[in-house]
């Protein structure tokens, strides 16, 4: 991630207060247990974040643990490998929605895109969009660290948005390279050019300075005030602790 300018405690507190409502507080660890989900839900309620994002088997537990708070429960499908089995992915999505998932994070079949086979990419996104028929937000994960440079990231962004994605998301957090400001800039420009859509940054977000970098990018490309929970999310497992520290340091 590119270096961020030094921030005063007042700057950090302001960024934290902007960023916390945008959080998709996440636990997609391979060893995730029910006790960790309870902790996640407590932190989500304390912070009044936008959503929690968990493995499908924990959706029901999150719904109970959030006690009716207006925090969405998101889950993942076709995750993390970005396979090409559309039927299986649709079945998993339908089951997640039956279990009460309110947002779906779908991994694009990015291998097909890299081979130049665009039809399977469009078909999967459109098929999942169709089963999210009650308006559940669909976030499409591009896996930008694997796509690599700006051209395939821009193409993936366009295809996802044209196929019905509500958000385009940088990464699963499971690859060597996750979110980068360079990828986020390409994605924001695609959203701007498309005329609608949101951005989710995921993978490697740990500090207030990281959040500041992406908020500054969004402000510069989309305009101040664009970044709200309906248009921008920050997906992270450990970022909340640093944001809460900064928020609480300045009354």
Which residues are catalytically annotated? 105, 169, 200
Structure-block tokens of residue 27: 């636990």
In angstroms, rounded to a whole number, what is the distance separating the alpha carbons of residues 223 and 220?
6
* C-alpha–C-alpha distance, residues 128 and 90, integer Å: 6
Going by C-beta distance under 8 Å and a sequence separation of 6 or more, which residues neighbour residue 235? 23, 24, 26, 53, 169, 173, 200, 201, 202, 203, 205
Distance of alpha carbon 165 from alpha carbon 140, whole angstroms? 6
* Contact assessment for residue 117 and residue 86, using Cβ atoms and an 8 Å cutoff: no
């Amino acid at each position: 991630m590119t270096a961020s300018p030094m921030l005063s405690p007042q700057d950090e507190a302001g960024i934290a207060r902007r960023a916390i409502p945008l959080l998709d507080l996440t636990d997609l660890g391979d060893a995730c247990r029910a006790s960790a989900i309870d902790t996640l839900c407590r932190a989500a309620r304390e912070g009044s974040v936008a959503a929690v994002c968990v493995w499908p088997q924990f959706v029901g537990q999150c719904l109970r643990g959030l006690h009716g708070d207006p925090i969405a429960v998101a889950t993942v499908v076709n995750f993390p490998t970005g396979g090409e089995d559309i039927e299986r992915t649709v079945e998993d999505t339908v089951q997640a929605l039956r279990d009460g998932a309110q947002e779906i994070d779908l991994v694009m079949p990015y291998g097909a895109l890299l081979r130049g086979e665009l039809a399977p990419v469009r078909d999967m996104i459109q098929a999942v969009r169709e089963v999210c028929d009650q308006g559940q937000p669909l976030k499409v994960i591009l896996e930008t660290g694997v796509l690599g440079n700006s051209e395939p990231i821009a193409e993936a962004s366009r295809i996802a948005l044209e196929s019905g994605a509500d958000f385009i998301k940088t990464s699963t957090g499971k690859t060597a390279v996750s979110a980068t400001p360079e990828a986020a800039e390409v994605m924001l420009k695609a959203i701007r050019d498309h005329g609608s859509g949101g951005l989710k940054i995921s993978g490697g977000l740990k500090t207030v300075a990281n959040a500041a970098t992406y908020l500054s990018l969004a402000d510069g490309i989309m305009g101040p005030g664009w970044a709200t929970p309906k248009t921008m999310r920050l997906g992270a497992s450990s970022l909340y602790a640093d944001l809460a520290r900064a928020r609480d340091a300045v009354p």
